[in-house]
Structure 1
Amino acid sequence: MVISQDTYNSVKENNLKGRYITLDHIKPILDRLPDNFQVKVIGHSVNKSPIHAVTFGTGKTKILMWSQMHGNESTTTKAVFDLFNLFQSNPKDCKAILRNCTIKVIPMLNPDGAKAYTRINANKVDLNRDAQERTQPESNVLRTCYENFLPDYCFNLHGQRTIFNVGNTPKPATVSFLAPAFDEERSISPSRAQSMRLIVAMNNVLQNLIPGQIGRYDDGFNANCVGDTFQMLDIPTILFEAGHYFNDYEREHTRNYIFIALLTALEVISDDSLNGFQKEMYFGIPDNNKLFYDILISNVHIIDPGKYKSGDAIGLLFKETLQNEQIAFIPHIENSGNLQNYFGHKTYDCSQENDLSALKTQTFWNLIKS
């Protein structure tokens, strides 16, 4: 299905923007969904906030997806609300998906973490490491939903930091995927093979839009992770990671690409074309790597020759900090020294007069001079 930029702009949920997305933001939108979207409270968080599921479609193939398991990973939440709007607009091409599939979405599994803008829940537990013991109410909500729904596919929707690049290239990993392992040997079971094929299908579409900006997430096995657990249950599971796009710290461009990936996956599942994609091509997607700084400043010996030697660089990362219900990006020095194999989303070269002059106007100038 080809969705034009104009069509996407028309269905984009404009009441959700930026990085800080909470239950207070999504609840009014959930309340406005039409009757063919079944909205149900399926449980509560540690702090007794409701956890909602949205179900739509009438088909026999069942797809379960959940977002904001980590409260500060909100990009995929925006994308699923864009998806709701698309299906509400009822274009002809979506009717087959609604006829062939039943889709259940938990748009915010960790509302307490979302409010606090933290990865963890209110008990300071990473829900994505609680799949086996299920010590937390949110973990039990997801598992109960899974057991009651019995999905044919699971989509685990996350976000990743700006540090990730694709392979050894200076391109950000704007979208990354993973077909989670189900054993220590990272064997390819039938369900994992289907996960790989679905990722290949999405990658094929996204490469036409953001070539070289799709990565493959590390597939080290961890039975405590939800994706690995569901893969162990023989259900094709896909991890989506919404990453950085050039100058897009609010992740408004990235949400578009996640939306396209989700729609592509639903279409491939709906039209039963998944086996037409070769699982071997999954391994052709480059690995994620961690070679980016938000700001990379080279030749810093020119600023402080007593502290730095020739060729040294400073790498700064932003700390995402909740301030007055907005996310502030506060720079801090992450590393310094020989950083020649690293990249910066923004770069300065102190040996260039224009860069040095521009650097002196930045709010972090005193930080790097201290």
Structure 2
Amino acid sequence: MIDFKQIFLSCKEDKVAGRYVTNEDVFPFLEASIFKNEIKQVGKSVLGEPIKLITIGGGETKILMWSQMHGNESTTTKAVLDFINFLEEPSDLQSSILKKCTIQIIPILNPDGAKAYTRINANEIDLNRDAQDRSQPESIILRQVYENFKPDFCFNLHDQRTIFNVGETNKPATVSFLAPAFNKERALSPSREKSMQLIVAMNSVLQNFIPGQVGRYDDGFNSNCVGDAFQMLNTPTILFESGHFPEDYEREKTREFIFYSLLKGVETIANNSLNNFKVSSYFEIPENGKQFLDLIIYNTKNIVTTYSEVDSLGILYKEVLKDDKVVFEPVVAEVKNLDNFYAHKTLNLLNSSDLDFVKNNNLLSTALLGN
């Protein structure tokens, strides 16, 4: 049995934390790695930032991973660094993986977006909608790495917003997966079935730690998305989506669960044990809903002057980069039909302590609050 928790605690990279992760955080880590001689620059971003690739292992089965294709989606990057740390420490599992697999990782594909903390690149292009045109240098780099490496599996690593719940439940989608479609009919193919089996394997571990908090991402087909494009090329590709865990806006707990997923996924590939997991079980993972708000504030009528006609307000946090730190600014998102939503936190303005909390933490601007 793999002790996922203990392994994570032993290899978590403490020097890289929080939501703001850039080349300045990752490159020193890479240069200190025992695999540093296997690092190469594979190109530059729009603004001339280096994009680096690390190769680990010498096995026959090839796995390609890339993170921060969207610059403001850094949770998986942190988990990738933890995974590299794991691969540096001798163990039976580490030895087996390095012997059977060759792993290539691009820790940050969109360094300009990472630095600016934006989804898009410096040309304001979503790289995950550029798989066919490949109009951007970052898109060209990823495709060249893919074509040169010829991977047997691809891990497409992302973050998702706090709005997602699992199915119709009040459980947050802390981790979501997708086996991307390869055609409009969303049919099955051998490569897509392998993606599904690998997701089932990873979910089997996560349910021990976050039961009911794993969702299935929407599989609408879009050939411009990289996962769909690689699936069209018959390469099993898995979309990872890091989501919300209660009170974890820095996504340090979610990072842990992504690490478990990476470790189980690679271990399953290395042991050639995909057939231990059923394709049908993939469809038992509930699809994501979009029913979460970050905060619902009850009994706002006559207290919040701008919305004096409603009893409650739904709040979503906007992630804003200030002084190299991500802050979460509250924005009123819903003022009615709140019965259809869940909240990561609730407050009641009839409760003096909750009212003080709202004021002291600027959860509503002074312009909205009456005296």
Deviation at 1:308, TM superposition (A): 4.6
Per-residue CA deviations over 1:235-262 (Å, capped at 9, x if unaligned) read 1000000111110111101110000000
Conserved? CA contact 1:333–1:368, under 8 Å: no
Residue identity matched to 1:316? I
Q: How does 1:154-193 map to 2 (within 5 A)?
A: 154-193=154-193
Per-residue CA deviations over 1:87-113 (Å, capped at 9, x if unaligned) read 101222221111111100010000111
Corresponding position of 1:66: 66
- Would the alpha carbon gap of residues 36 and 21 (structure 1) be closer, same or farther in structure 2, given more than 3 Å must change? closer
Report the Cα distance in structure 2 between the residues aligned to 1:97 and 1:344, rounded to whole angstroms: 41
Report the Cα distance in structure 2 between the residues aligned to 1:306 and 1:297, rounded to whole angstroms: 14
After TM superposition, the structure 1 stretch with the greater mean CA deviation from structure 2, 86-95 or 355-364, is 355-364
Conserved? CA contact 1:37–1:56, under 8 Å: no
Deviation at 1:303, TM superposition (A): 2.8
Per-residue CA deviations over 1:185-230 (Å, capped at 9, x if unaligned) read 1001111011000000101100010001101000000000000000
Deviation at 1:284, TM superposition (A): 0.7
Deviation at 1:7, TM superposition (A): 3.2
Report the Cα distance in structure 2 between the residues aligned to 1:263 and 1:11, rounded to whole angstroms: 12
Conserved? CA contact 2:4–2:260, under 8 Å: no
Per-residue CA deviations over 1:24-72 (Å, capped at 9, x if unaligned) read 1111111111147611111111111111111111111000010000000
Q: How does 1:202-217 map to 2 (within 5 A)?
A: 202-217=202-217
Q: Which runs of 5+ in 2 are unaligned?
A: none
Corresponding position of 1:364: 363
SS of aligned partner of 1:300: coil
- Would the alpha carbon gap of residues 358 and 112 (structure 1) be closer, same or farther in structure 2, given more than 3 Å must change? closer
Per-residue CA deviations over 1:9-31 (Å, capped at 9, x if unaligned) read 22111111000000011111111
Corresponding position of 1:273: 273
Corresponding position of 1:121: 121
Conserved? CA contact 1:65–1:157, under 8 Å: yes
Report the Cα distance in structure 1 between the residues aligned to 2:316 and 2:97, rounded to whole angstroms: 41
Deviation at 1:350, TM superposition (A): 3.6
Deviation at 1:276, TM superposition (A): 1.5
After TM superposition, the structure 1 stretch with the greater mean CA deviation from structure 2, 139-148 or 22-31, is 22-31
Conserved? CA contact 1:59–1:101, under 8 Å: yes
Per-residue CA deviations over 1:330-366 (Å, capped at 9, x if unaligned) read 1111121121110111101345555445445442243
SS of aligned partner of 1:284: coil
Report the Cα distance in structure 2 between the residues aligned to 1:291 and 1:261, rounded to whole angstroms: 25
Report the Cα distance in structure 2 between the residues aligned to 1:307 and 1:315, rounded to whole angstroms: 11
After TM superposition, the structure 1 stretch with the greater mean CA deviation from structure 2, 180-189 or 329-338, is 329-338
Report the Cα distance in structure 2 between the residues aligned to 1:358 and 1:124, rounded to whole angstroms: 37
Q: How does 1:288-327 map to 2 (within 5 A)?
A: 288-301=288-301, 303=303, 307-309=307-309, 312-327=311-326
Q: How does 1:1-370 map to 2 (within 5 A)?
A: 2-35=2-35, 38-301=38-301, 303=303, 307-309=307-309, 312-352=311-351, 355-356=354-355, 358-365=357-364, 366=366, 368-369=368-369
Report the Cα distance in structure 2 between the residues aligned to 1:306 and 1:260, rounded to whole angstroms: 46
- Would the alpha carbon gap of residues 328 and 305 (structure 1) be closer, same or farther in structure 2, given more than 3 Å must change? closer
In the comparison of the two structures, how many residue pairs are matched? 369
- Would the alpha carbon gap of residues 35 and 154 (structure 1) be closer, same or farther in structure 2, given more than 3 Å must change? closer
Report the Cα distance in structure 2 between the residues aligned to 1:227 and 1:339, rounded to whole angstroms: 35
Q: Normalised by the size of structure 2, how large is the TM-score?
A: 0.95
After TM superposition, the structure 1 stretch with the greater mean CA deviation from structure 2, 90-99 or 265-274, is 90-99
- Would the alpha carbon gap of residues 172 and 35 (structure 1) be closer, same or farther in structure 2, given more than 3 Å must change? closer
Conserved? CA contact 1:316–1:334, under 8 Å: yes
Residue identity matched to 2:214? I
- Would the alpha carbon gap of residues 306 and 5 (structure 1) be closer, same or farther in structure 2, given more than 3 Å must change? closer
SS of aligned partner of 1:369: coil
Q: Which runs of 5+ in 1 are unaligned?
A: none
